[in-house]
Amino acid sequence: MIAYTTSAETVYTVARQLNSSLDLDEVLGKVLSLTVDATGATRGSLFLLDEQGRVLRQILARPDQSPEISRRNVNMVMEHGLAGWVFRHQYGALAADTTKDERWVRLPDDDEITGSALVVPLLYQERVNGLLALHHLQIRFFDESHLALAAGIAGQAAIALENARLYTEVKEERESLFKLINGMPIPVVVVDHRDTLVFANQSARQRLLVKQVGVPLEQVSGGPQLKSALTKLGQSGNGHIEVKWPDGRVYNVSINNVSKVGTVVAMDDITQLKELDKMKTQFVETVSHDLKNPLGVVMGFAQLLESEQNLSESGQVSLRGILKSAHNMQELISDLLDLAQIEAGMAGEVQPHDMVRLVLDTLPNFALQIEEKSLQVKTDLPFEPVRVPGNRVRLSQIVANFVSNAAKYSFDGGQILVKLTRTDGSVNFSVTDSGPGIAPARQAQLFQKFYRVPEVHAATGATGTGLGLSIVKAIVESYGGRVWVESEVGVGSTFGCTLPACLES
């Protein structure tokens, strides 16, 4: 018989010791050893269980058993023994004389005969997440006082084990996440709100030559370039930006702001892709130049033939076909050369230009196209000038491409809205059409070279080179802006761009 005061003091002592650690295996060992000592048991077992009563972790009374035998024994006591009975009923049980208690199962390889036993559940939030079993060789050694003491310890142990389990779970998840990020083939770094480098994975340490963390970004090789890129990303709202590293490599940098952690920066090495793109651009430029002169000769002779009076009707039809095809090819070559020049950084001299004036000067160029389709054009433009830094020809190309596409893809009798606004140091220019609209799955490809939406082409019959929007994208991004699209099938589309505004004096 254990006195009440002794029992209370023991529970308090056990609780204090259990709360001194969050290591799950250490807490499991303490629970068992402290309970065995406090109750005078010969030996004990401890099980951690899932919601179905399956054993997740265990400390057995006989640790020398082979895994196969221990598994068999655990299953037997959980299905037919006292431990299983306690799990199902969710309260402690005492077998003062195991020889007369039908709930007790004697294991076939048990050399020591247990005289008395007790099992108490580890209850947490009305769920049994563990079982504590105590054994003694003497019959009737355990009584209700031992059961009450074990139950009191189990109550404290349940809380301590749950805390340790959660801590271990979080720790293991954190370690797994660290291994995952550290093992990524691309450099990943984390920068806090003070622009301090707080983490760099293995790839970042090797490829970016990051020697240590916990230092200001400016002190890291390439840090100033990365800091400038992060600032631009924060201002533009773009998801990624290209950064040239001091060693000449080019990285596609993308960021994700994580609360209480900082800015997670992923850097994908695109140096080889940029070199291939440069080679492609040079090839396209060379081929386009080589095609331009002979194509001019073809068009010249075709125009001379057009003045001939003796051409048959079929000859005139063929001649018109030649001129139309040559004109289309000339337009394609012109677009390819434009794109090559822009991508090569030869977009022309940059000066402040009034976008309102550019829009008003460009719209009349499409008067015939708009009149033929009976389109109504509405403008939403500021009364005062809105200046952006750029080349006048290139900025006019942006306006012309958006307006031309709107007129080309709008249905007859439709409406076009040309809008220009200035907000927070940026200028937003957009053109809305009344065409068939574009499905979301197609929108991500709209600014790719030569891409044309099959459904839109089929619905409108409009033709083109498929380079207009990619030219707009190249121009806008060369000025530090971004392009975007909003569209709904059956309603129409809005194509727009955001450009940095000139700082007002």
pLDDT at residue 77, as a whole number: 81
pLDDT at residue 356, as a whole number: 92
pLDDT at residue 67, as a whole number: 63
324: left (phi over 0), alpha (psi -120 to 50) or beta: alpha
**pLDDT bucket at 317, cuts 50 / 70 / 90:** confident
Segment 468-490 shows an average pLDDT of 87
- Half-sphere exposure for 498 (CA within 13 Å, toward CB): 12
Distance CA 462, CA 409 (A): 7
pLDDT at residue 357, as a whole number: 92
Bridge partners for 301 per DSSP: none
Q: Which two tokens stand for residue 462?
A: 């409009």
pLDDT at residue 365, as a whole number: 86
Domains and CATH numbers, the chain: 4-179 (3.30.450.40), 185-269 (3.30.450.20), 273-343 (1.10.287), 351-500 (3.30.565.10)
Cβ contact 420:386 at 8 Å: yes
**pLDDT bucket at 327, cuts 50 / 70 / 90:** low
Distance CA 73, CA 80 (A): 10
Segment 379-402 shows an average pLDDT of 88
The per-residue pLDDT for range 40-85, each reduced to its tens digit, is 888 888 888 877 778 777 776 555 555 666 678 778 888 888 888 9
To the nearest whole percent, how much of the chain has pLDDT over 90? 8
Computed over every residue of the chain, the mean pLDDT equals 80
Distance CA 216, CA 200 (A): 13
438 CB contacts (<8 Å, ≥6 apart)? Answer: 446, 453, 455, 456, 485, 487, 489, 493
Whether the model pTM is above 0.85: no
Distance CA 233, CA 326 (A): 43
Q: Which residues of 215-228 are buried (b: 16+ CB within 10 A; e: fewer)?
A: eebeebebbebbbe
pLDDT at residue 378, as a whole number: 92
What is each CA distance from 244 to 214, 223, 269, 279, in whole angstroms?
23, 11, 10, 18
pLDDT at residue 233, as a whole number: 76
**pLDDT bucket at 129, cuts 50 / 70 / 90:** confident
pLDDT at residue 415, as a whole number: 92
pLDDT at residue 312, as a whole number: 74
Reported in sequence order, the residue ranges of 1-153 that DSSP labels E, i.e. its strands, are 43-49, 55-59, 93-95, 116-124, 127-136
pLDDT of 20 > 70? The answer is: no
pLDDT of 100 > 70? The answer is: yes
